[in-house]
Amino acid sequence: MIGKKEGRIFSGVQPTGNLHLGNYLGAIRNFVRLQSQYECIYCVVELHAITQWQPPTEVSSNTREVAAAYLAAGIEVKQHIIFNQSQVTAHAELAWIFNCVARLGWLDRMTQFKEKAGKDKERASAGLYAYPTLMAAEILVYKGTHVPVGEDQKQHLELARDIAAKFNHDYKRDVFPLVEPLILGAATRVMSLKDGSSKMSKSDSADLSRINMTDDVDTIARKIKKAKTDSDVLPSEPGGLKGRPEAANLVGIYMALAETDINSVLGQFGGQGFGVFKPALAELAIETLAPIQTEFRRLMNDPGSLDSLLGSGADRARALADPIIAEVKEIVGFIRP
Ligand code: AMP
Ligand code: TRP
């Protein structure tokens, strides 16, 4: 692998619908970039998606949606692997073993569980609680070393490191690598367009809070126009965005889309109001997303091809995971004839 870095990338996106600009800028765009440097495995993680109930038809259509987004964004399936998780049973097998390695105290600290379970955590599924052990398992069943994610996944990756270290320690074998999070780019935490203090999220009931990968050009323009702001002009120095979360978020999105730095955005728009900035941002968002969306729609019109592509990706993933899960089972003491 000349010119490539040592290591194997693994990452995943949940098929829970409403794939949005945060998923693209925080994760999928980085997945595409990393493929020139590493061997990459990108998974559609539907075992995670059912930790909160979803109608079966939506699980399958959302799975195709994430696969189509990976492809439309530019992931090369000849060199790299795209598949849906449930086709490779080794993920769930290793997850069980990791459930026996991870400590309750570790899982109790996971902030995403607290957010997702809400006030009534007695009613959350056991799967939602154990989800970070499954996430560790799917990375480590390939001995993945680097994991590109948005900022919100950092804590789960620290847990994956703790699980790997404890497994290696308990069984006195150097089996699993300590994964490195790759939190890259200017938009590792894109905020809601309606509230600069909460993350842009698939599950926000307000559609105006996010730009979906499926939004058409007019919808993108309308959502940016309606995005919450304050009545000030944009500052010419980054310090002037302090205490202005909505303005900071829109500037951050512009920066990430234009692949530039904050000083150049504020150099261009400092002193101007949102009446000037928002149309420029809308134009940039449309210019970046439109070609991906066209390809995305084309792929979604042919579900049969997507399914067979996921099937052959899963075959290749299984070939990598099978010897690793066999090694782990032997280490743990499970008999195989
Ligand atoms: P999820 O939507 O939870 O399946 O997330 C898929 C990927 O997108 C993960 O790497 C997340 O960290 C990333 N992500 C999700 N929401 C955002 C956001 N608002 N800003 C940046 N990255 C995000
Ligand atoms: N938990 C991640 C999220 O909610 C998605 C995910 C599942 C993932 N498994 C993963 C990310 C493995 C990276 C590696 O965004």
Atom of ligand 2 nearest to the CA of 138: 12
Angle between helices 303-332 and 274-300 (to 10 degrees): 90
CA dist 163 and 132 (Å) reads 10
- Cβ atoms of 34 and 73 closer than 8 Å: no
**Looking at the CA of 150, which ligand is closest?**
1
Cα 237 to ligand 2 centroid, rounded to whole Å: 35
- Is 116 one of the catalytic residues? yes
- Is 172 one of the catalytic residues? no
* Both structure tokens of 167: 């497994």
CA nearest to 334, candidates 100, 177, 145, 133: 100
Strands 39-44 and 8-13: parallel
Measuring from atom 5 of ligand 1, which residue has the nearest CA? 13
- Tell me what pLDDT residue 337 has: 82
CA dist 89 and 321 (Å) reads 9
Atom of ligand 2 nearest to the CA of 134: 9
Angle between helices 274-300 and 217-226 (to 10 degrees): 150
Cα 211 to ligand 1 centroid, rounded to whole Å: 13
Measuring from atom 12 of ligand 1, which residue has the nearest CA? 150
Exposed / middle / buried, residue 48 (Cβ in 10 Å: 0-12, 13-18, 19+): buried
Cα 174 to ligand 1 centroid, rounded to whole Å: 31
* Both structure tokens of 157: 């990756």
Return the number of other C-beta atoms located less than 10 Å from residue 118's C-beta.
Answer: 9
Cα 213 to ligand 1 centroid, rounded to whole Å: 13
Cα 150 to ligand 2 centroid, rounded to whole Å: 9
CA dist 233 and 277 (Å) reads 9
Measuring from atom 8 of ligand 1, which residue has the nearest CA? 23
Over its length of 337 residues, how does the chain's per-residue pLDDT go in tens digits?
456 788 999 999 999 999 999 999 999 999 999 999 999 999 999 999 999 999 999 999 999 999 999 999 999 999 999 999 999 999 999 999 999 999 999 999 999 999 999 988 999 999 999 999 999 999 999 999 999 999 999 999 999 999 999 999 999 999 999 999 999 998 999 999 999 999 999 999 999 999 999 999 999 999 999 999 999 999 999 999 999 999 999 999 999 999 999 999 999 999 999 999 999 999 999 999 999 999 999 999 999 999 999 999 999 999 999 999 999 999 999 998 8
Atom of ligand 2 nearest to the CA of 152: 15
3-state per-residue secondary structure call for the chain: CCCCCCCEEEEEECCCCCCEHHHHHHHHHHHHHHCCCCEEEEEECHHHHCCCCCCHHHHHHHHHHHHHHHHHHCCCCCCCEEEEHHHCCHHHHHHHHHHCCCCHHHHHCCHHHHHHHCCCHHHCCHHHHHHHHHHHHHHHCCCCCEEECCHHHHHHHHHHHHHHHHHHHHCCCCCCCCCEEECCCCCCCCECCCCCCCECCCCCCCHHHCCECCCCHHHHHHHHHHCCCCCCCCCCCHHHHCCCHHHHHHHHHHHHHHCCCHHHHHHHHCCCCHHHHHHHHHHHHHHHHHHHHHHHHHHHCCHHHHHHHHHHHHHHHHHHHHHHHHHHHHHHCCCCC
CB of 313 within 6 A of ligand 2: the answer is no
Strands 81-84 and 180-182: unpaired
CA nearest to 328, candidates 137, 127, 104, 159: 137
**Looking at the CA of 195, which ligand is closest?**
1
Q: Which of 143, 194, 199, 223 is catalytic?
A: 199
Q: Which residues line ligand 1 (CB under 6 A)?
A: 13-14, 22-23, 26-27, 149-150, 152-153, 187-190, 199-200, 202
CA dist 239 and 186 (Å) reads 17
